[in-house]
């Protein structure tokens, strides 16, 4: 060890006297840094990035010193020692020639370390740069680059016949490596999730190199593989249904595809394989499933991707609503149990079943989040007995929380409420003596104060909030306030997936603009009460065998017991404004197939993208899709939708109008 240190000191002195490596490996990278610093300062690397140009370029600057030492320094030294027979002479001394090579390798490691530290200190002092992402990963990649480059240098020095040939080989390697080390990426891969979304999607192939993003896609593959195996084990047969199909009114806008062969006619991409899976039941396939691509021309949301999505579509013959519930529970409970993050609790079967009416009353939404313990109550009748005119003859909903809020908290809640469109947010505080404090107290007669206490279950220390409007608006406001209170007061259960079924949806609804009656959900659903209900009941009072699975306030699945009776189907479509001829035209395959007899059947279709979004705790569904559309329904990477040639338009008989 002593001889190594002595040799290192002597060789380092000789190297420093030469000054070449000091200039090329230390000073030049520093000069480049200073120039870039004065030009770019703290400007972002690109539009939408969360880091500066200097932070992005820091790794490349470090590579300059590595390339200088590894390709322009070390090979020349080694080849010179070989050419002058210095290494051969060391064989007859106590110092092994290998030790000399190790010393030279160490010297250039020192240059690399000194250069990196000098660069970082200058950049941090003058331009406040920092290492984004993992420091260990950065140091690991820097170390790997240094060791591999210096090893190449040793190799070049070992194979070159003399210094001149070593210099030629080194130059051939040096300049390309130097150029590529400074190749500018649109963003830093390790911190790509900090970059603006449109930039990430434009360069999605780079974004997918980010390990966190990549892990989501790998995770997605594992979940889908498990779902396939689970459905197969349960006796379901995987069958692919067509992508090019007929356009039909199924609730959303179709993506249409013009036909070249049949002028003026169009295919449609399937919103769901609805008709095909029902036809499979007619065909005698009693258990079908598919990881089905679905296409709907809809606007994007955080939990909905525009354009296309995937669902676990399944259907069963001779099945009731309860049969479908059992399959859905088994599949989702096992999937979430297997793939949920460690420590997360998952609702076990049987899931709670909540009617649509109950959900809208108690949760203010048909997608109830059961992690929130707060419940909404109806106080409409009570306030009709009071003197508070803004609440009379209106739907009044209330939420009781066992908490006393500060003045600041009340002000923030009021601001939130007015932001929703509410005129205000009434409340009462329950004092220790069970008296009330708040702006509504004076409007409640003394003889009724005990009644509201019993109705709302009020206790000392409670605060109750009131929302009043038309029924649908009151429900919406109450649901939003419930969620906001749950979040502000930290009441929402953490690390849990809470499932429930929502069923008994209305079959029909009235369009607020046209006043016409239409389907609320799937038009192929069986009405409760069958044909008799359609003939005798007010359409708005008819319920359907329709159901959703909801998890943590997110709709994961919708489904229904299907209408398999042609008489009932004709009557249902008639109520919705479609005569039998329209039914034949739009749903001809089902209409004709049902003439030959159809078994009772039912099914559902959990959304795969949403499942994975929940399991990965991502807030945006696009994080779990390999190549998602942007929020504006564009493929920013490939440039879709794009223009096509006039010839292509002529082939499909299309003329674009202004």
Count Cβ atoms within 10 A of the Cβ of residue 292 and give its class: 0-12 exposed, 13-18 middle, 19 or more buried. buried
Q: Are 261 and 234 in contact, with CB atoms under 8 Å apart? A: no
Nearest C-alpha neighbor of 530 from the set 502, 576, 559, 561: 561
User: Are 550 and 499 spatial neighbours (Cβ–Cβ below 8 Å)?
Assistant: yes
Cα distances (Å, whole numbers) of residue 17 to 10, 12, 23: 11, 9, 11
| pLDDT score of 244 | 95
Task: Report if pTM > 0.85.
Answer: no
pLDDT of residue 427: 92
Helix (H) or strand (E) holding 224: helix 211-233
**pLDDT of 65 strictly over 70:** yes
Residue 521 pLDDT: 80
Alpha-carbon distance 586 to 582, whole Å?
6
How confident is the model at residue 150, as a pLDDT? 81
pLDDT of 328 over the 90 cut: yes
CA distance 154 to 105: 8
Q: What pLDDT is stored for residue 21 in this prediction?
A: 73
Percent of the chain with pLDDT over 70: 92
Residue 251's pLDDT is what? 66
Q: Which residues contact 521 (CB under 8 A, 6 or more apart)?
A: 251, 505, 507, 544, 546, 558, 560
Tell me, what's the pLDDT at 610?
95
DSSP classification of residue 435? -
Q: Over 60: is that where the pLDDT of 234 sits?
A: yes
The average pLDDT across 43-66 equals: 75
Q: What is residue 281's predicted lDDT score, i.e. its pLDDT?
A: 96
Is the pLDDT at 98 greater than 80? The verdict is: no
Rg, the chain, Cα only: 35
pLDDT of residue 91: 60
- Is the N-terminal amide bond of 410 cis, ω within 30° of 0? no
In this prediction, residue 112 carries a pLDDT of 83
Which pLDDT does position 152 carry in this prediction? Answer: 80
157 pLDDT tier (thresholds 50, 70, 90): confident
Concatenated DSSP letters for 61-111?
Answer: HHHHHHHIIIIIIHHHHHHHHHHTTHHHHGGGSSS-HHHHHHHHHHHHHHH
Longest dimension (CA), the chain: 113
Choice between 298 and 202, residue whose per-residue pLDDT is larger:
202
Mean pLDDT of 66-74: 74
DSSP letter at 347? P
Check whether the bond before 559 is cis (ω within 30° of 0).
Answer: no
Residue 220's pLDDT is what? 97
DSSP code of residue 556? E
Distance CA 448, CA 229 (A): 60
Whether the predicted pLDDT of 259 surpasses 60: yes
The 10s digit of each residue's pLDDT in 576-625 is 988 888 888 888 888 899 999 999 999 999 999 999 999 999 999 999 99
- Taking Cα atoms as reference points, which of 105, 116, 169 lies closest to residue 138? 116
For position 93, what pLDDT does the model report? Answer: 63
What confidence tier does 110 reach under pLDDT thresholds 50, 70, 90?
A: confident
- Which residues share a beta bridge with 428? 464
The beta strand positions in 496-611, using DSSP E, are 496-497, 499-503, 508-510, 517-519, 546-551, 554-561, 601-604
The pLDDT value recorded for residue 104 is: 77
The per-residue pLDDT for range 536-587, each reduced to its tens digit, is 999 999 999 999 999 999 999 999 999 999 999 999 999 998 888 888 888 8
**By three-state DSSP, how is residue 405 classified?**
coil
Query: In 3D, which of 52, 69, 38 has the Cα closest to residue 184?
Result: 52
pLDDT band for position 471 (cuts 50, 70, 90): very high
- Residue 5, pLDDT score: 72
Strand-strand pairing, 237-238 and 554-561: unpaired
pLDDT in tens, 160-219: 777 777 777 767 766 676 566 555 677 777 778 888 899 899 999 999 998 899 999 999
Count, in order, helices (H) and strands (E) of the chain: 25, 19
Burial of 179 (0-12, 13-18, 19+ CB in 10 A): exposed
Give the pLDDT score at 239: 97
Q: Please tell me which residue, 23 or 504, carries the higher pLDDT value.
A: 504
Mean pLDDT of the chain: 88
Report the distance separating Cα 57 and Cα 65, nearest Å.
13
pLDDT in tens, 435-456: 999 888 888 888 898 999 999 9
Three-state secondary structure string covering 168-218 = HHHHHHHHHHHHHHCCCCCCCHHHHHHCCHHHHHHCHHHHCCCHHHHHHHH
pLDDT band at 47 (very low <50, low <70, confident <90, very high): low
pLDDT value at 250 more than 60: yes
Length, in residues, of the chain: 658
Tens digits of residue pLDDT in 478-515: 999 999 999 999 999 999 999 999 999 999 999 888 88
**How far is residue 218's CA from residue 515's CA, in Å, rounded to a whole number?**
48
């Amino acid at each position: 060890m002593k001889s190594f240190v002595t040799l290192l000191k002597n060789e380092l002195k000789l190297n420093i006297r030469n000054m070449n490596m000091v200039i090329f490996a230390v000073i030049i990278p520093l000069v480049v840094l200073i120039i870039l610093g004065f030009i770019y300062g703290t400007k972002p690397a690109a539009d939408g990035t969360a880091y500066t140009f200097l932070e992005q370029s820091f790794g490349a600057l470090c590579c300059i010193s590595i390339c200088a030492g590894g390709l322009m320094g070390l090979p020349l030294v080694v080849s010179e020692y070989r050419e002058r027979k210095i290494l051969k002479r060391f064989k007859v001394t106590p110092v092994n020639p290998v030790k000399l090579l190790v010393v030279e390798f160490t010297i250039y490691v020192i240059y690399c370390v000194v250069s990196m530290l000098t660069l970082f200190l200058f950049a941090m002092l003058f331009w406040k740069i920092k290492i984004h992402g993992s420091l260990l990963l950065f140091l690991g990649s820097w170390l790997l680059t240094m060791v591999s480059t210096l090893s190449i240098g040793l190799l070049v020095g070992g194979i070159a016949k003399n210094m001149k040939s070593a210099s030629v080989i080194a130059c051939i390697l040096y300049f390309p490596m130097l150029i590529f080390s400074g190749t500018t990426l649109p963003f830093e891969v390790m911190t790509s999730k900090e970059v603006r979304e449109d930039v990430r999607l434009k360069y999605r192939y780079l974004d997918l190199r980010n390990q966190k993003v990549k892990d989501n896609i790998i995770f997605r593959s594992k979940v889908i593989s498990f779902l396939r195996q689970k459905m197969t084990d349960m006796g379901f047969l995987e069958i692919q249904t067509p992508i090019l199909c007929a356009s039909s009114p199924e609730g959303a806008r179709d993506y249409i595809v013009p036909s070249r062969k049949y002028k003026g006619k169009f295919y449609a991409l399937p919103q769901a394989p609805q008709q095909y899976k029902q036809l499979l039941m007619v065909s005698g396939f009693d258990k079908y499933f598919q990881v089905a691509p679905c296409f709907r021309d809809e606007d994007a949301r955080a939990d909905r991707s525009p354009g296309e999505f995937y669902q676990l579509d399944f259907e069963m013959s001779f099945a009731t609503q309860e049969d479908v519930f059992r399959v859905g529970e088994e599949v989702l409970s096992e999937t979430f149990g297997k793939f949920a993050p460690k420590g997360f609790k998952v609702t076990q079967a049987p899931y709670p079943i909540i009617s649509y009416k109950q959900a809208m009353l108690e949760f203010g939404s048909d997608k109830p989040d059961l992690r929130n313990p707060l419940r909404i109550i109806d106080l409409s009748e009570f306030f009709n007995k009071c003197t508070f005119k803004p609440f009379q003859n209106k739907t009044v909903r209330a939420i009781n929380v066992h908490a006393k809020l500060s003045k600041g908290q009340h002000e923030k809640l009021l601001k939130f409420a007015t932001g929703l469109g509410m005129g205000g947010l009434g409340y009462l505080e329950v004092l220790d003596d069970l008296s009330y404090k708040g702006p509504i107290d004076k409007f409640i007669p003394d003889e009724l104060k005990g009644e509201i206490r019993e109705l709302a279950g009020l206790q000392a220390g409670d605060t109750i909030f009131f929302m009043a409007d038309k029924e649908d608006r009151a429900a919406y406001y109450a649901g939003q306030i419930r969620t906001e209170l749950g979040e502000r007061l930290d009441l929402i259960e953490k690390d849990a997936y809470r499932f429930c079924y929502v069923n008994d949806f209305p079959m029909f609804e009235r369009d607020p603009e046209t006043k016409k009656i239409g389907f609320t959900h799937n038009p192929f659903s069986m009405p409760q009460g069958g044909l008799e209900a359609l003939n005798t009941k007010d359409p708005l009072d008819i319920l359907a065998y329709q159901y959703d699975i909801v998890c943590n306030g997110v709709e994961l699945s919708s489904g229904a017991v299907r209408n398999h009776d042609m008489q009932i189907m004709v009557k249902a479509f008639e109520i919705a404004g479609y005569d039998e001829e329209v039914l034949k035209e739009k749903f001809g395959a089902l209409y004709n197939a049902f003439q030959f007899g159809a078994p009772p059947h039912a099914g559902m279709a959990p959304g795969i993208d949403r499942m994975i979004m929940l399991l990965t705790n991502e807030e945006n569904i696009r994080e779990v899709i390999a190549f998602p559309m942007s929020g504006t329904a564009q493929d920013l990477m490939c440039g879709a939708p794009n223009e096509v040639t006039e010839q292509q338009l002529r082939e499909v008989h299309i003329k674009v109008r202004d």
